[in-house]
Amino acid sequence: MKRTPEIGRYASRFAALGHELRLEIIRRLLAAWPAGMVAGEIQQELGIPASTLSHHLDALHQEGLIQQHREGRFLRYTADDKGLRDLLDFLYAECCTRNDVVQIGSLTARRARSEAD
């Protein structure tokens, strides 16, 4: 199988999202978008040590999935809409455009039904 740098980049991003805590961090940052959250807020919500949070934030930042901004003594994190959009565009192109495996309308309808239940 021929591997490309592009596929490697997406695989790394998916791997970063493949950890339960990292996915929880992304969910919280998306809910707080565009303002984001200070690291201490994320830590308090997740109930994890600062060192653990720092490790996971760094992994997400390295993959371009979150942004970090210094505000005095604090670090504010936001979901990186460009990085996340790029990842979703990749999935959409592969499953919904090129190969027509998934009808995008069925995903949004299914999501709406599950939220109503």
pLDDT grade for 67, boundaries at 50, 70 and 90: very high
pLDDT at 61: 98
Burial tier of 92 (Cβ tally within 10 Å: 0-12, 13-18, 19+): middle
Does domain 5-116 fall under CATH 1.10.10.10? My reply is yes
What length does the chain have?
A: 117
Residue 29: pLDDT above 70? Answer: yes
pLDDT at 70: 98
Name the residue among 17, 18, 32 with its Cα closest to residue 84.
Answer: 17
Mean pLDDT in residue range 2-7: 82
Residue 12: pLDDT above 80? Answer: yes
pLDDT at 104: 64
**Peptide bond just before 34 cis, omega within 30 deg:** yes
Q: Indicate yes or no: pTM above 0.85.
A: no
Task: Tell me how far apart the alpha carbons of residues 67 and 80 are, in angstroms, rounded to a whole number.
Answer: 6
Mean pLDDT in residue range 53-72: 98
For the record, the structure tokens of 36 come out as 């984001």
Burial tier of 16 (Cβ tally within 10 Å: 0-12, 13-18, 19+): buried
Please provide the average confidence, as pLDDT, over all residues in the chain.
89
For the record, the structure tokens of 15 come out as 């791997």
